[in-house]
Amino acid sequence: MASEIIGKIKVDDYDLEKDIKYLNSVTKQPEEYDEFGQGYWKNLSLYNASGNASDTQYRNTDKCFPTEYATQCPSIQKLVQQNFKPDNLKMIRARSLVDGLVIPHRDFVELDEKITYFRVFLALENNKDAFHSDEHGVFQMKAGEVWFLDAGISHAAVNFGLNSRMFLCLDFMYEGEFEYTDIFTDQSVLEECRRSFYVSREIFTSSQKEAVISGASKILDRFTFKDVVFALSKYHFIYDIPVSSCYDWIISAAEQKNNIEIVKKAKSLRRYLIEKRDMGERYSINDWNI
């Protein structure tokens, strides 16, 4: 289903500036799926199954402990405790994306289909240069807004600027039916939410598409593959095209170049990111042993 705003928290009631400054100062660590981000993309585990800040893997768990990062962020802890029920909460991450891109992908495709995974984002600050997208359009999250993000459909994120864009990402898990209102401690957060939020994008013609594919085919090889993937992934933020168009274009460009190796690589990338992957499976864009 489409992403949408499901609540709004008065973040001005919390002294978040110090916490955000601290989180921005934490050194970025390697993590799962790290290479699918470009620029400065940081995910910090505030709450997880182990209580270890270096544990960045989301998984099925009955426990959710604060990490050492959370203990250094008293205002964020207070915000979480006062506004979200701990039941069914499995993980909270602080996410920062600066001058960077997270390419189109789907999450949870390798997990149990009998369980419902409910992901929400809470913007802690405004950034006019930061955008999110899914299969239904492109949008901006404003400070205090709580967004449902369907991680099971193709989605992406970008920050075209150099300023901080700190969000909380909260992952809930439910067995059976549930209402999204179940995550909140106070139903007043459901009031005064924006209902219109999609960004207007430019028309993209067939001739423009053909030109992009043709141009990509001329420079596409082992050494430029990753760069071309990231470049084409940005187009849907500007033009009115599907979020995962870039993968089809890469395949078409490789076919136009008649490079079987790159065709195979591009198809395997599309499969892994937006079609299907196995539990624990990892993928490297620069690994050509496929």
What domains are defined for the chain?
4-190 (2.60.120.330), 206-275 (1.10.1720.10)
- CA 264, 38, 165, 90 torsion: positive or negative? positive
**Residue 173, number of CB atoms within 10 A of its CB:** 23
What pLDDT score does 32 carry?
Answer: 64
Task: Classify residue 51 as exposed, middle or buried by CB count within 10 Å of its CB (0-12, 13-18, 19+).
Answer: middle
Digit-coded pLDDT (tens) for 212-233? 999 999 999 999 999 999 999 9
Q: Which whole number is the average pLDDT over 207-216?
A: 98
The yes-or-no verdict on residue 248 having pLDDT over 90 is: yes
Encoded tokens for 26: 């934490």
- In which band, very low, low, confident or very high, does the pLDDT at 136 lie, cut at 50, 70 and 90? very high
The share of the chain scoring above pLDDT 90, in percent, equals 67
pTM beyond cutoff 0.85:
yes
Digit-coded pLDDT (tens) for 26-57? 988 766 666 788 888 888 999 998 889 888 77
The yes-or-no verdict on residue 194 having pLDDT over 90 is: no
What pLDDT score does 213 carry?
Answer: 98
